[in-house]
Amino acid sequence: MRGQVQGVGFRPFVWQLAREMGLTGVVLNDPEGVLIRAAGDDLDGFEQALVARAPLLARVDSVESVPCEVEGEGFVIGATEGAGAETRVTPDAASCADCLAEVRDPGDRRYGYAFANCTHCGPRFTILRGLPYDRAQTTMAAFPMCDACRAEYGDPGDRRFHAQPVACPDCGPRLWLEPEGGLAEAVTRLARGEVLAVKGLGGFYLACDAANVEAVALLRARKRRPSKPFALMAPLDVLRRFARVDDAAEALLRDPAAPIVLLPKGAEALPESVAPGMAELGWMLPYTPLHHLLLEAFGGVLVMTSGNLSGEPQAIGNAEAREVLAPFADAFLMHDRDIARRLDDSVERAAPPMVLRRARGRVPGTIPLPEGFGAAPQAVGYGGQMKAAICLVKNGQALLGHHLGELDEALTWDAFLDADRDYAALFDHRPEVVAVDLHPDFRASRHGAARAESEGLRLEEIQHHHAHLASCLAENGWPLDGGRVAGIVLDGLGLGPDGTVWGGEVLLGDYRGFERRSWLAPVPLVGGDRAQAEPWRNALTRLDAAGLAEWADGLFPDAPRDMLRTAAARGVNAPLSSSAGRLFDAVAACLGICPGRQSFEGEAAMRLEALAGEGGDAGYAFGHDGPVIDPAPMFRALHADVIGGAGVALMSAQFHAGLARVFAERAQALVQDGEAEAVALTGGCFQNARLLQETMMALGEVPVLVHRTVPANDGGLALGQALVAAARVLAD
């Protein structure tokens, strides 16, 4: 049995099933998965039941059967054989109902215990130091089991059989509050408006009362996070008061991965300062016994944001937290189980389904390689500069690593290097080819090139938007020889082979190559990185290009417009850019949405999306000049609507609809002309649910590929890089 079959209760499940069916034999873990030697009647039925009735956390990729001789009587669970890393590691999983029932039962020996778990739930990847997945290879090795826990651990009929983190109050990790007290004192401090550092599975949180305006303001000031939305945690019955939860959203909230789920605001309101300017809030349910105990005692909603200074990795060690988080937290809710690796929370949306940040609960889950990649070499993709993540290809699977952050931050860069070493060692990965972004100054590109040179590996440089396209193809299982697709790629920026900055393209291509068929009319990106942070710069260049310089002068009277125009004219630090992300910034600035400076990446675009109302079916018209898509007519129509007193909600809706329509028309034509088999929607702009839905409606009946489990943003870039590199090797 290959796949996610170790550490999920698979062996006791097999043992029980074999006994039920009267079989003899043995089941054990080995480097390739779970090995079963079985004899008896109806072995075909047994094999089918192994897949159909597999444990909740199991993911069976394949079953390989050969005849064998089986010795002995009865059916037993054998010891692990061999060493290596050919199988998968299970992601961390939210507490199951059985464990929570014990934690809430005054008569149970785990009553009130913050670290109860079993084979169906609890920490996995965040406590793992090496393979095979045995207790000695985890951070639980420091806690010898008591007799009662050892009896559960050794009983194949118990749901804690070989649950490596098994523990109880007599032998397991302990919880305490610093400077003094316990859980009750932590709740008291939260209730009076203090900020607490709370140790989770993959790192520390900073928590406060989400309903307390002063507490939220205090946390924002200390964390230096003026407006980026905070994540929230509450039990489902409390959450429903503040968010609209349909069946799909509830299922995602209850998923063992326990991600943060973006939900529309509900009947009751939390302070606007929790997520300024946003129509959705990010919610997660308590997913550990500690969370449940804390939230049930508190009785309200908690802000639960990463324990770090904005932009830096979150703290994971107790000593590190005391040092780094001291300026932020009034007290620390600590425990003594070490965290082996830092993992943020995953962030997802239920409708339309998408993963915005792939992390705890999803990693290190793997993605099967599409048809045609069976002979693919081991490969590593190093991603981009923003939303960094690493991807390993091995044995027909792609392992897309966890979200790391922005690599221009020194501590994030250190975390990137740690993750590179960690994944390679943990999964016994020896690449033949290294894939990097075409941009030579990205830190990940330099790192990959240096590794390839030092180890004598093949290096493949992959254009940014080609990697986005390949990522979408790979997630959807598009075969290597499945034909070309029309990729609508809308994002912030990526270096094009022509030396300009791309970001609003229709590509015609596959894994092996691409052609650029349509693109946004480029304008100077004046100031480089400053243009990403200051939306008015993008508005000025776009309005000047549309013949609306006077409107720009009126919108930004105090900005250094002359200096910007001079730099644009002379091409000084002003590369030409077709970026759709910067187009969103420009429109937002024209409508008065944080024109001066964004406090976090994507703020202007997110606020623009949040303001989009009903209407706008026609959409603003864009110009057509051969392959070039010109936003100038759109800006002129926007200007007329502003003068005419149109509402921002309508103008935002018109912009979204117009942009979706013009790109959809170009991609749709490639399918209708027989050049493309389908349309793929990718790039960070397609995290915008309004844009995604408008584009899919505009595409009509043509086949459409979208992201659901791999981020459309740069968090999915490494997957595409690795697949393009593998395709090139296979073509040689």
| Catalytic machinery residues | 11, 29
- Does residue 94 contact residue 258 with C-beta atoms inside 8 Å? yes
What's the Cα-to-Cα distance from 78 to each of 32, 154, 155, rounded to whole Å?
15, 12, 13
CA angle 517, 520, 526 (to 5 degrees): 135
Strands 514-520 and 501-509: antiparallel
Q: Which two tokens stand for residue 494?
A: 């990526």
- Does residue 141 contact residue 295 with C-beta atoms inside 8 Å? no
Which residue from 121, 120, 100 is spatially nearest to 10, judged by alpha carbons? 120
Could you please report the per-residue DSSP string of 116-163?
--BTTBB-SGGGB-SSS--GGGBGGGGSPPPHHHHHHHT-TTSTTTT-
Strands 260-264 and 280-284: antiparallel
Q: How far apart are CA 421 and CA 79, in angstroms?
A: 29
Query: Which sign does the torsion angle of CA 648, 650, 655, 660 carry?
Result: positive
Strands 576-577 and 523-524: antiparallel
- Does residue 364 contact residue 125 with C-beta atoms inside 8 Å? yes
Strands 353-357 and 347-350: antiparallel
Beta strands in 521-671 (DSSP E): 523-524, 576-577, 623-625, 628-630
- In a 3-state reduction of DSSP, which class is residue 346? coil
**Residues in Cβ contact with 420 at an 8 Å cutoff, skipping those fewer than 6 apart:** 382, 390, 447
What backbone phi and psi angles, to 5 degrees, belong to 98? Answer: -65, -45
**Residues in Cβ contact with 512 at an 8 Å cutoff, skipping those fewer than 6 apart:** 724, 727, 728, 731
C-alpha count within 13 angstroms, C-beta hemisphere, residue 674:
0
